[in-house]
Amino acid sequence: MTIPTKQSKQSSTVPKTESRTPRRQPDMVDTLVTWVFRVISFPLWIVTTIVGQMLTPGAAGASFLGKLVFLFLVVLSSDSYWQMLFEGNALFGWYEETWTGWGWLPSLNFFPLRFSLGLFANPMIWICLGVGFIIQSFQSACFNGERFAHQNARVIGLIAVATWVFDIIMTFTSRYPLRYTEPSDVIGCILFNIFTIGCAEWGRWGEKVLSGK
């Protein structure tokens, strides 16, 4: 019988070490390239996130965009009221001989520091927009078949027809197509007038689609 030596006993108890490949530490060039890529792609990420929010039905951004478009179209449609009922200059320059320019919008100047409400400092513009908002909201509700429009179809229909007739008179009086001599201008003015008459209705429909309703 063989007696194990001390050397063999010690060798049997020593664990075997595995050979491991040391991890490569990122150098300065890799770090710099990574951060440059992040900085360059960050604005693109912001834009894609905003666009995704704006175009995803039911998202907060899409709902906000729908309401913003609807309000803009209400203001556009109210331009004829502003000209005919309140004797103001045109708010927009499309197919107009004279208009106020973009100075009617609020503005902020830094040198010297000054903030201006523009035409919104005039209380009459708020009355005009209020009238336009009520008329256009009513028309868009009837056009899109919203709930209150089914309560009394005859009365609602008569009111809707009256408001649309009023819209046609105000729009074509403020932007008279036959004052132009070129046929293309006449046709363009007629089409633009038709668009402004029904733009709030289409804007309300777009708002419902973007809101996911």
Tens of pLDDT, residue by residue, the chain (213 residues): 555 554 544 444 545 555 555 555 556 777 777 777 778 877 777 777 777 766 676 677 677 777 788 888 888 888 888 888 888 888 888 888 888 788 788 877 777 777 778 888 888 989 998 888 888 777 777 766 666 555 666 777 777 788 888 889 989 998 888 888 888 989 999 999 998 888 777 777 776 766 666
Q: Which residues contact 96 (CB under 8 A, 6 or more apart)?
A: 90, 175
In a domain, 159, yes or no: yes
Residue 118, number of CB atoms within 10 A of its CB: 14
**Counting beta carbons within 10 angstroms of the beta carbon of residue 84, is it exposed (0 to 12), middle (13 to 18) or buried (19 or more)?**
middle
Pairing of strands 107-110, 113-116: antiparallel
The reported pTM is: 0.66
Please provide residue 116's backbone torsions phi and psi, each rounded to the nearest 5 degrees.
-125, 135
Which pair of tokens denotes residue 80? 């004829």
Phi then psi for residue 87, to 5 deg, are 55, 40
Q: What pLDDT was estimated at residue 158?
A: 79
Q: What is the pLDDT of residue 191?
A: 92
User: Exposed, middle or buried by CB within 10 Å (0-12, 13-18, 19+), for 180?
Assistant: middle
Could you give the number of structural domains in the chain?
A: 1
Give me the residues paired with residue 110 across strands.
113
Q: What is the residue range of 112's domain?
A: 69-210
Q: How confident is the model at residue 106, as a pLDDT?
A: 80
Question: Is 118 within the bounds of a domain?
Answer: yes
Give 108's strand partners: 115
114, β-bridge pairs: 109
First to last CA, the chain: 92
CA distance 58 to 213: 8
User: Which residues contact residue 57 at a Cβ distance below 8 angstroms, ignoring those fewer than 6 apart?
Assistant: 209, 210, 211, 212
Does the residue 47 lie in any domain?
Answer: no
What is the pLDDT, as a whole number, of residue 102?
A: 80
Using left for φ > 0, alpha for ψ between -120 and 50, and beta otherwise, residue 106 falls in: beta
Residue 155 lies in a domain: yes
Tokens representing 150? 């089914």
- What span, in angstroms and rounded, lies between the C-alpha atoms of 70 and 200? 6
Residue 144 within any structural domain of the chain: yes
Query: Does residue 115 belong to any structural domain of this protein?
Result: yes
Q: What is the pLDDT of residue 9?
A: 47
> Does 46 map to a domain?
no
Cβ(69)–Cβ(206) below 8 Å:
yes
In a domain, 181, yes or no: yes
